[in-house]
Structure 1
Amino acid sequence: MPVPQLPPFPADVHTHPLLVIDYDLLEAGNQQEIDRLWDAATNLGFCLKNHGVQAEVDGMFEMGEATMKLPIDEKMKFEQGDEGSSFGYKAAGANAVDANGMLDTVEFINIAKDDAFAWPSIAHRTYPSTVTSRMESTVIPFVKKSTEINTTILNIFNTKLGLPEGELIKRHNDAEFSGSEARTIKNPKGMSQERTALGAHTDFGSLSFLHNRLGGLQVLPPGIDEWQYVKPLPSHAICNVGDALAVLSGGILHSNIHRVVPPPGAQANYERWSQVFFTRPGNSVILDPLSSLSPVIANAVQRNKEKHSNAGGATAQEWFTRRIKNQRIKNRTGPETWHASRGTEQGRA
């Protein structure tokens, strides 16, 4: 389907620029580009160009629009539930965005990587017909290409962290079930700028591969206490390091704090769509720094003992389930529920 004509991001809004990394150069082993990637990943994330997934992204947006147009009763048949699973449909208002219990405004459909790779068998759950009818043409190609890109990036990080070859990939093995998933997100138009769509958070997993058509994503750069917009660039993906890599690397890789608010300026009059692929470790992977495998990581842990970079030996599944479950408004008992949903941003914001 054709990309809709949308108003440009307003020129008078302050933004925080991210480094633009050329994926073609990363694949070619260009050392200068690899060094730029490393600089970005140890600071605030980056934009990726020439990733080759744009056609699949457009197809995922089309799938998402068809899914969100289904009657609510039909969508709720595939609701993710309140027990800490992320796969399936999430209605707007199902999650809290802050300690006061303000409700989120986004609805989305999450499709497990395991279900895409197992298709037509079922690994975790079933999905609406709008998803299954596009599984082979759209969903599986998007998941496979996104996984390949994130694998390339993980291998670069593996070398930079001084780990034995393949250690990070072992912890993201396709043979083991994980929380990895594709997510298509809709935020309604015309929302108040004070109404946060998604609250301040760090991502749960290892790498996030995000595609936006409108503004609304904001970051909180290290050492700065003012939220700043990230301007979406056509055909570029925004890539973030998540909690799991921050922990495994002993805090060398930086899991940045971000949130989603309504788009600025004239863009606020349009629905905001986002497409993400989250790469997360295998469910059994222990989230502790890989100090015994890398002197680089061991030195980082020794230098920054006070830095929050340790998940206390939780498995990736335990970490993921705790954070998802405690965001759900039906599980809320008070501000302590929100705090129990926090990740490596705890103590930094």
Structure 2
Amino acid sequence: MPAVTIPPVPHYEAAPATKENLDWADFPIIDLSKAKTPEGRAELAPVVRDAMGTYGFLYVVNHGLTQAQNDRMIDIADVPFTQVPEEEQKQFTSKIKEVGSYRGYKPRQFWTIDNGVKDQIEHYNMHRPIFQQQHPKALQPFLPEIRSFVEHNHYNVLHPILRLLALGLELPEEAFVNLHNFDAQGETYVRFMKYYSRTEDDETKTKNVWMKGHTDIGTISILWSQPVTALQIMSPDGKWRYVKHIPNGLIVNAGDSMEMLSGGLYKATIHRVFQPPADQRGHTRLGLFYFGYTDDNVKLVPFAESPVLQRVGITRKCADEEAPTMGEWRVARTKVYGLSETKKKDNVVEEQVISGLVVRHYN
């Protein structure tokens, strides 16, 4: 049988890792290979529960892809930005304001960061089935590989994390998995995202913030760690700390929807993107993401039957009868992020009311 050939792809040269001494966030590293056995899941579940309850963040290693496979996907992730002409890109622009969907390109300078400064972030988003969506010509040879990458994220990373989170609430293992069906109505994305350098004037006007502190919309976000140090989380003591790059590692965080489903036990992490350290400036920051959402028809109410929640109590963002569905929450937040006015609560917090719920941004 002849060997399977894969299409060539231009190589993306990532920045060298920073050598600067930074204030790093400290949260657990999870060996996901242990989640394959009941004994391993029993060992990991309390660690994941405590980390998600304290930070909303985890590092994950041994997720099943090699460094070479990771590098190949990074090269593919650069194709929509370097191999697709600008005029063709415009044909695939996301309908963010119109229908609250990120499918396709989010162009640079679409969001307002602060003091009138627009973002320098470009991303290309693909709904998880991949082949149900039209794509630029240059990306089409890589669609089978992207589909395999999506399936790996969904079944080999997202689902094991969801099982551990369910065990942390003393729920049946499949409680959260059953809400994240691959073929159901919804908008789980794989995202290729590229940050570009900004002018000194823009850096001054935004106090070096490239994306304001925020929480994610969905349940679980998976970021494939990349070398440019720019991601920061707000630690429990209120200080911003950098997230360290782990080669071939993952950064996993909880979003609003998981916080609502878990009755507040798991925290939607406040995180932002900040200007990289001096030895990495001038480099682009290219990332791979998988954003997990429940099926669109899932109502975002707590799992009140959880023995843990019955012991510690439930924190609700709204009354259960007023809770949005995943689809309603996803569309509402997507339509307004970076595009509508926020109200300053103090020198740090800005607020919006979306679907009756308060959404905060942190500057």
Equivalent residue in structure 2 for 1:51, among 63, 67, 72: 63
Distance 1:85 1:144, change over 3 A: same
**Residue in 1 aligned with 2:190?**
182
Q: Deviations over 1:49-71 (max 9, x none)?
A: 11123444323322221210222
TM-superposed CA distance for 1:301, in Å, is 3.8
Contact 2:212 2:362 in 1 (8 A): no
SS in 1 for 2:209: coil
Equivalent residues, number:
332
TM-superposed CA distance for 1:6, in Å, is 2.9
User: Is 2:303 the counterpart of 1:294?
Assistant: no
- The structure carrying a bigger strand percent of its residues is 2
Distance 1:290 1:97, change over 3 A: farther
Distance 1:17 1:4, change over 3 A: farther
The percent of aligned pairs where both chains have the same amino acid is: 25
TM-superposed CA distance for 1:146, in Å, is 0.5
1:179 counterpart letter in structure 2: E
User: Is 2:86 the counterpart of 1:72?
Assistant: yes
Distance 1:299 1:132, change over 3 A: farther
Q: Deviations over 1:75-120 (max 9, x none)?
A: 111111222111111111112335x55422200101111x32xx3x
**Residue in 2 aligned with 1:222?**
236
Contact 1:257 1:345 in 2 (8 A): no
Give TM-score scaled by structure 1 length. Answer: 0.86
Equivalent residue in structure 1 for 2:330, among 301, 320, 329: 320
Equivalent residue in structure 1 for 2:19, among 10, 16, 19: 10
TM-superposed CA distance for 1:345, in Å, is 5.8
User: Is 2:105 the counterpart of 1:89?
Assistant: yes
Matches within 5 A, 1:224-243: 224=238, 226-243=239-256
TM-superposed CA distance for 1:4, in Å, is 3.2
Gaps of 5+ in 2: 1-9, 344-349
Distance 1:266 1:92, change over 3 A: same
RMSD: 2.6
Matches within 5 A, 1:9-158: 9-28=18-37, 29-30=39-40, 31-44=42-55, 45-53=57-65, 54-69=67-82, 70-81=84-95, 82-83=97-98, 84-97=100-113, 102-113=117-128, 115-116=129-130, 119=131, 122=132, 125-136=133-144, 138-148=145-155, 149-158=157-166
SS in 1 for 2:276: coil
Give TM-score scaled by structure 2 length. Answer: 0.83
User: Is 2:285 the counterpart of 1:272?
Assistant: yes
Contact 1:21 1:46 in 2 (8 A): yes
Q: Deviations over 1:184-231 (max 9, x none)?
A: 11111355453432221111111111022211001111231x321112
In 2, the alpha carbon distance for the partners of 1:52 and 1:36 equals: 20
Matches within 5 A, 1:187-202: 187-189=195-197, 192=200, 193=203, 194-202=207-215
Q: Deviations over 1:157-184 (max 9, x none)?
A: 1122122342212211123122211011
**Residue in 1 aligned with 2:176?**
168
Distance 1:314 1:5, change over 3 A: closer
Contact 1:248 1:288 in 2 (8 A): yes
In 2, the alpha carbon distance for the partners of 1:190 and 1:96 equals: 14
